[in-house]
Structure 1
Amino acid sequence: MNMSSRIAYTLATLFVSAPALAAPPTVFIPEGSANSVLMVQAETGKVLRRINDVEAVHGLAGAPGVPYLVAGSYSEIPREDVASLEKPSTVSADDHAAHHAPKAAPMGPPDAGISLLSILDAKSGDILRRIEVPGAVHHTAVSPDGRFAVATHPAGDGISVIDLATFGMTAFVPTGSMPNYAAFGTDPNLVYVSNTGNGTISEVDLSRGIVRRNFIAGDTPEHMAVSPETDRLFVADADAGQVLELSLSTGEKLRTFEIGGEIHGLGLSNDGATLFVAGRGEDKLASVALATGEVRTATLAPEPYHLTVIPGSDILYVSSRAEPVVWLIDTSSLQTRETVSVEGEGHQMVALP
């Protein structure tokens, strides 16, 4: 074998034996009143695609390895108008017709309007299906095994449960006054729902469609973050400007972290050692060292709102409620690295590897 052949053979061997490089994470940003979802490259903020025709999208959820994203609309439509909705271009005519076939009596409050969940392909962003649910949707969540999705209905005092294998609604579970946020731990059958109107967290058994337990959680519990490894649930008591640390096993309050002002989004660092808090009321971003309870803050204005930690990186995405912008934040320094311009306002963001 001559020298040039040997080099070619060596290079070919390296290419075959080298592991495939992982694609960089993608962040999906719901743009609220713009009726769209923006897809960006996580590390740079480079825009990849804008997904249109997702009306009043507020809640958006997914999970690693799950092929779908679930987008919730904060608007309602009259029941009689549902059948006339335009078919998404990526949905077959047969599926669309089957979806609008006559159904049994609707679940949920009898006086609720109809809102729509949009099922998106987690790779391409294509809209695959629409699912009717009873009333405006605030937030959504997807179980870690991809079996269930849930949507919170603040005006209906409960959640819708969706089977992602059939794209059918299987239950409406009353949880409490003004359910706001939903979060899963490692058990795909259990979801935690914050009831802002009565200061409780409901633990919902999705297979049975029942509330197992209720925890007391301050006055106005909203966003949450779950740490299954440490058996902890972190809850934003929004109006009080506090984060509550609860035991998942007992529901007991273990610690209170004083942030100050109205707070909104929460997120745990990749190693679970730090909790990030959006301080909307006082234009700041806070980080809580969970080992010591030390709270550190940095100015971030105006009105930091939703946030999400990028998996496998040192970047945190934070949206603004007052301006059409999302900040890319260094998780160590809490300083802004880049910004992404959005349309409308950035809501419940999802970062997938």
Structure 2
Amino acid sequence: MFKLKIAATAALLLSVAIAAAEPIVFVPVGSANTVLVVNAETGETVKTIRGLEAVHGLSGAPGVPYLVAGSYAETDRAAISELTQPESVSEDEHAAHHSSAENEPIGPSDAGISILSVLDTTSGEIMRRIEVPGAVHHTAVSPDGRYAVATHPTGDGISVIDLKTFTLTAYIPTGNMPNYAAFGSDPDVVYVSNTGNGTISEVDLGRGIVRRNMVAGSGPEHIVIDRNNAVLYAADADAGEVIELSLSDGTVLRSFAVGGELHAMDLSDDRATLFVAGRGEDKIAAITLADGEIQYADLSPEPYHLTNIPNTGTLFVSSRAEPKIWIIDQATMTARGEFQIEGEGHQMVALP
């Protein structure tokens, strides 16, 4: 009884600590096997969530109580079955989960197994671990919290997770080397960039099909969607360009020559400015979407993942070359500060 009281007290204190740190940013640190919960104003770590091997993809949505973390590491099914189940899952549930997965595998038969972890946004607790076929690059959560998807570059498809039942329900082939995924205004439709064939797939999750493929440069990687205006922006990374696509008819509306190798992107709160990390030339760019004007600021070394922090006028930008994250003022494009991490920051999630 005494131990139970201690555990309950610790969970309560953790929830209060995370809530008090709002706005907060979740930072996956792949080589450290952790997700950091960070105060957006100060960069102070509020909580470290451990036990997430090679975590790279991380996603959530406002009002959704879960985050979904994907592992870039693969292992065989026998090793996965030895994982200790999360505390909230009974031994019977854990055994049944593995049994059904072995009897009715979903996805490519020759794929290794990696893990998607479902995290509680308030406590940081790992609620579920879900086996998926192949290494996970990035993840996305639907605006209504119904679905999560994970991209599998080596398997040419995406896994679909039902967040009501915490189960893998489908594997949908999209194209060569799917990289990034993002939702528009329809929570049943996700868009996936296929770096290997230069397309964006529009995927109907309810039907489990690709509705159409849209041509988007030579090798689109990170994407971001302006839901209000039904426009998608894709980083054609090696070409150094950002492609603007109309989601209504799939046509390329504009392209922006940013230059150098590009990586992550995000929109400002008012969707008037698109920020881009220029990893190849040690710079970040701000594209004014009304007229296409591009402003640059030096940022070294190797700006990598970039995330708008809502209601703060700042960006978090990680470095691929050094274990740190910059806090960037959007108006001046200069660093307000920076903080150290134990590795490289990947797909960050900011929640108001």
TM-score by length of 1: 0.92
Counterpart position of 1:7: none
The answer (yes or no) to whether the contact 2:70–2:116 under 8 Å persists in 1 is yes
Equivalent pairs: percent with the same residue? 65
Counterpart position of 1:70: 68
Counterpart residue type for residue 258 of structure 1 = A
**Equivalences for 1:24-39 in 2 at 5 Å?**
24-39=22-37
Say yes or no: does 1:236 pair with 2:235: yes
Say yes or no: does 1:55 pair with 2:48: no
**Equivalences for 1:180-329 in 2 at 5 Å?**
180-329=179-328
1:95, distance to aligned residue in structure 2 (A): 3.3
Stretches of structure 1 that go unaligned for 5 or more consecutive residues are 1-20
1:99, distance to aligned residue in structure 2 (A): 2.4
1:174, distance to aligned residue in structure 2 (A): 0.2
1:23, distance to aligned residue in structure 2 (A): 6.5
Q: Distance in 2 between matches of 1:318 and 1:98?
A: 41
SS in 2 for 1:166: coil
Count of residues paired in the alignment: 333
Q: Distance in 2 between matches of 1:89 and 1:44?
A: 32
SS in 2 for 1:84: coil
Counterpart position of 1:88: 86
Counterpart residue type for residue 45 of structure 1 = G
Counterpart residue type for residue 249 of structure 2 = T
SS in 2 for 1:344: coil
Counterpart position of 1:111: 110
Stretches of structure 2 that go unaligned for 5 or more consecutive residues are 1-18
The answer (yes or no) to whether the contact 1:281–1:303 under 8 Å persists in 2 is yes
Counterpart position of 1:151: 150
- How far does the alpha carbon of each residue in 1:51-75 deviate from its partner, in whole angstroms, 9 at most, with x for none? 1110000000000000100000000
The answer (yes or no) to whether the contact 1:90–1:126 under 8 Å persists in 2 is no
**Equivalences for 1:5-44 in 2 at 5 Å?**
24-44=22-42
The answer (yes or no) to whether the contact 1:140–1:181 under 8 Å persists in 2 is yes
- How far does the alpha carbon of each residue in 1:221-269 deviate from its partner, in whole angstroms, 9 at most, with x for none? 0001100211210000000000000101011001111111000000000
Counterpart residue type for residue 46 of structure 2 = L
SS in 1 for 2:99: coil
- How far does the alpha carbon of each residue in 1:285-321 deviate from its partner, in whole angstroms, 9 at most, with x for none? 1000000100000000110001110111201000111
1:105, distance to aligned residue in structure 2 (A): 2.3
Counterpart residue type for residue 238 of structure 1 = A
The answer (yes or no) to whether the contact 1:55–1:73 under 8 Å persists in 2 is yes
1:96, distance to aligned residue in structure 2 (A): 2.5
Report which of the two structures shows the higher radius of gyration computed on alpha carbons.
1
SS in 2 for 1:75: coil
SS in 1 for 2:228: helix
Q: Distance in 1 between matches of 2:87 and 2:43?
A: 27
Counterpart position of 1:14: none
SS in 2 for 1:65: coil
The answer (yes or no) to whether the contact 1:246–1:252 under 8 Å persists in 2 is yes
